């Protein structure tokens, strides 16, 4: 009898396959058809464990399509498995974790109800934007960090007097952890975002980075605005090369190109979102959280 099965959604197929191997589970793939009107039709291919199953699916764009596919797979798997763990390598909507302006919907609250309702008994996320998002869930949750995996990659590069930089104060702890792993120092810039327009601005006046290679660390890159502003500021301060380390590289539209144009040497991200920059594999870290 299959003790553990890993069901991978289309958005996390490669990561799901790697994970299944690492936890020695039966791999169940999903066959997905998206109809012209946008509806998803999913067929699971393989034997689902009656005991425990892990459904792996990120929800990067198309966010709502990938989200409904995750919920649908969980619901189907729950018909067979008594325990269903939802591994969400990239959790979309995580920035909507509180009411910043009156009347705003806290979408993370809605997700908490949806995942419970679908049949998940536990959520595992990787570097969720903020732990506040997980507080809305009434089922078990766990956030795991990809920082050690990213740090292993950067330790192998030969960098000149490197320094870790967070583009904002919100990422200070992340930068601190990265710096600890790399046994180097860190700083955090002051970033201000206009809540209405989304425009970002660096408020820090001066930093001592002359000639130093910098690693800008963030949980995610969406439009690239945060990274571009930070890089322009750091370049003015006469730093050396700027590398970017992030867990989730959404890189919307031509964000990758714009970031390079601002002076970034390389963007390194993880496979929570597959893409050109996702060179760091987090399957081992997720596997450790499951077994
Ligand atoms: C914000 O607090 C996050 O940690 C990221 O810095 C932000 O979401 C990145 O978005 P963008 O690339 O659009 O600036």
User: pLDDT tens, 200-229?
Assistant: 889 999 999 999 999 999 999 999 999 999
* Catalytic residue selected from 191, 232, 266, 288: 191
Tokens linked to 112: 């908490």
Q: CA 173, CA 266: separation in Å to the nearest integer?
A: 23
- Percent of residues, the chain, with pLDDT higher than 70: 100
Number of Cβ within a 10 Å radius of residue 175 = 27
Ligand 1, residues 95, 170, 178, 220: which to mutate, most atoms within 8 A of Cβ? 220
In ligand 1, the atom with minimum distance to the C-alpha of 170 is 2
pLDDT for position 27: 97
Q: How far is ligand 1, taken at its centre, from the CA of residue 113, in Å?
A: 26
Is 220 a pocket residue for ligand 1 (Cβ < 6 Å)? yes
> How far is ligand 1, taken at its centre, from the CA of residue 85, in Å?
28
pLDDT digits (tens, 9 = 90+) for 234-283: 999 999 999 999 999 999 999 999 999 999 999 999 999 999 999 999 99
| DSSP bridge partners of 194 | none
Half-sphere exposure of 18 (CA within 13 A, CB side): 15
- Note the pTM of the prediction, 2 decimals: 0.94
97 lines ligand 1 (CB under 6 A): no
Please state at what angle helix 63-78 crosses helix 107-118, rounded to 10 degrees.
30
Where residue 2 falls among pLDDT bands split at 50, 70, 90? confident
User: Does ligand 1 lie within 6 Å of residue 224's CB atom?
Assistant: yes
Q: What is the spatial distance between Cα 11 and Cα 2, in angstroms, rounded to a whole number?
A: 24
* Cβ-based neighbours of 7, under 8 Å, separated by 6 or more: 16, 28, 29, 30, 44, 46, 48, 53, 54, 55, 56, 73, 77
CB 219 less than 6 A from any atom of ligand 1? yes
Q: Is the CB of 222 under 6 A from ligand 1?
A: yes
Question: Ligand 1 centroid vs 222 CA: distance in angstroms?
Answer: 6
For residue 82, give every residue at least 6 positions away whose Cβ sits within 8 Å of its Cβ, in sequence order, or none.
50, 51, 52
Q: What's the token pair of residue 200?
A: 């970002």
The answer to whether the CB of 162 falls within 8 A of the CB of 184 is yes
Neighbours of 52 (CB within 10 A): 18
Which atom of ligand 1 lies nearest, measured to the CA of 198?
13
191 catalytic, yes or no? yes
More confident residue, 198 or 137: 137
C-alpha angle with apex 195: 194 to 201, nearest 5 degrees? 20
Report whether 108 contacts 96 (CB < 8 A). Answer: yes
* Ligand 1 touching residue 127 (CB < 6 A): no
d(CA 13, CA 19): 10
């Amino acid at each position: 009898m299959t003790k553990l099965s890993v069901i991978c959604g289309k958005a996390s197929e490669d990561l799901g396959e790697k994970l299944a191997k690492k936890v020695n589970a039966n791999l169940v793939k999903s066959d997905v058809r998206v109809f012209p009107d946008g509806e998803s039709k999913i067929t699971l291919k393989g034997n689902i464990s009656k005991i425990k199953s892990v459904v792996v699916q990120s929800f990067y764009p198309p966010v709502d399509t990938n989200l409904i596919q995750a919920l649908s797979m969980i619901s189907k798997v729950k018909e067979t498995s008594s325990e269903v763990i939802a591994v969400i390598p990239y959790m979309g909507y995580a920035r909507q974790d509180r009411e910043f302006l009156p009347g705003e919907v806290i979408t993370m609250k809605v997700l908490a109800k949806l995942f419970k309702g679908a049949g998940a008994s536990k959520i595992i996320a990787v570097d969720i934007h903020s732990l506040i998002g997980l507080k809305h869930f009434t089922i078990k949750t766990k956030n795991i960090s990809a920082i050690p995996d990213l740090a292993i990659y950067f330790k192998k590069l030969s960098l000149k007097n490197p320094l870790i930089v967070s583009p904002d104060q919100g990422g200070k702890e992340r930068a601190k952890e990265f710096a600890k792993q790399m046994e180097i120092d860190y700083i955090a810039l002051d970033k201000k975002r206009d809540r209405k327009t989304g425009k970002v601005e660096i408020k820090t006046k001066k930093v001592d980075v002359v000639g130093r290679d910098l690693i800008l660390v963030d949980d995610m890159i969406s439009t690239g605005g945060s990274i571009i502003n930070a890089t322009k500021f750091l370049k003015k301060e006469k730093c050396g090369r700027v590398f970017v380390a992030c867990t989730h590289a959404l890189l919307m539209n031509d964000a990758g190109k714009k970031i390079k144009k601002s002076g970034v040497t390389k963007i390194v991200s993880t496979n929570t979102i597959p893409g050109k920059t996702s060179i760091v594999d987090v399957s081992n870290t997720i596997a450790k959280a499951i077994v």
